[in-house]
Amino acid sequence: MAITRRELITNIAKAGVPAALAVTACAPKLEAETVPVPSGAVGLLYDASICIGCKACVAACAEANDTSPDTRGDGLHQAPNDLNDRTRNIIKLYKPAGGGPSSYVKRQCMHCLDPACAAGCPFQALSKDPETGIVTWTEDKCIGCRYCTITCPYHIPRFQWAGYNPRVTKCELCNTRLDKGLKPGCTTVCPTGAVIFGPRPALLMEAKSRITKSPNRYYQNRVYGEVDNGGTQALYLSHVPFEKLGLPEIGPDSVPAKTLRWQRRLYQYFALPAVLYVGLVQVIRKSLTGHEVEAHERERATGLRAQR
C-alpha cells in the first residue's frame, strides 16, 4: 500500500500534534519560587529621606576596610563619583533637571537573598553565607572573568583593572568587624541615623514602623528590598521613586529564578519536536509493515519475488 507525501504529513500531524499539545498543556505552571531568608540574616536599612549627603560613611567604609582613600579626582579630597576598585560604599545625588524633590542615595552591595553574582560565578568565588546571608568574594577561587559585574542587576561589583593580581571589590558588610562584635563602619558615623545595621527582620519592622508613623512620607509606602528581586538584605526607604535612585523595579522574582524559569520553559517546549519525531517513526513503521504485506500477497499471486 503506497502512501503519498501529503498523507505522510497529515498522519504525522494527527499523531504528533495532539500529543505534543497535551504534553505542553499538562505541564505544571511555573510559579514564582520563594527565596528562603537565612536564619541569622543581617543587613542595612537606609532612609534616603533623612540622609544629608555628608559622605561620612564613605570615609568610614574605606577606613574600616583598610582601603586607600580614592583621591584620584583632584589629588586631594576623597571624592569618588561612583563605586570603584577603592570604593565599596558611595553617596550619590539625584537631582531632577526639571525641578522636583531631590535625594541622596547610598549605594553598596544589596546582599540579595538570591544573589545573581553568586549564581553566575563559574567557580563560586562569590558566595552567600548560609547563616548571615552576607555575600563575600574569595580570592583563591576567582579567575577574573568579571561575569559577576554583568549579572548583578544593581551593577555593584567592581573589578580592579590595575595590578598583576586584580580583585573584585564590593561591600561585604564589614564581616571582619562583625566577627569582633562591631558594626559596619558606615553605620557607626552617620549623624542622622540614615543608615542602620541589624537583623533583617528587625530592620524590616523598623522600616514599616516609619511608614506607619508617616504614611505620606515614603514612595508607595513601600520598603524596597522586602520582596524586590527575591528580597535583599539592604533595605531602602525613599521619598522619590526607587528607580531614580538606581534601584530598578525588578519584581518579586530574583534574577537567577527568572533565568531558571526560562530555562525550564525552553526544556518544556523541547517536548514538541521530540513527540513529533516519535509520531514520524510510528507512521513510517506502519507504512513499511503495510508495504511488506502487500509485497507477500503479490509474490504469492505472480510468483515473482519483489526486490528488497
Q: Where in the chain is the domain with CATH 3.30.70.20?
A: 42-253
Q: How far apart are CA 280 and CA 210, in angstroms?
A: 65
pLDDT score at 105: 98
Which pLDDT tens digits describe the chain residue by residue (308 residues)?
555 555 655 665 555 555 555 555 555 554 556 788 999 999 999 999 999 999 999 999 999 999 988 999 888 888 899 999 999 999 999 999 988 999 999 999 999 999 999 998 999 999 999 999 999 999 999 998 989 999 999 999 999 887 777 889 999 999 999 999 999 999 999 999 999 999 999 999 999 999 999 999 999 999 999 999 999 999 999 999 999 999 999 999 999 988 766 655 555 565 566 666 677 767 667 767 776 777 777 777 777 666 55
List the binding residues.
Answer: 51, 54, 57, 61, 109, 112, 117, 121, 142, 145, 148, 152, 171, 174, 186, 190
Give the three-class secondary structure for 261: helix
List the binding residues for [4Fe-4S] cluster.
Answer: 51, 54, 57, 61, 109, 112, 117, 121, 142, 145, 148, 152, 171, 174, 186, 190
Right CATH number for 42-253 from 3.30.70.360, 3.30.70.20, 3.90.1300.10, 3.40.50.970? 3.30.70.20
Quick check: 102 and 185 in contact, CB under 8 A?
no
pLDDT score at 267: 55
Q: Which one, of 46, 98, 30, lies nearest residue 223 by Cα?
A: 46
pLDDT score at 200: 98
Q: 17 Cβ partners below 8 Å, 6+ apart?
A: 276
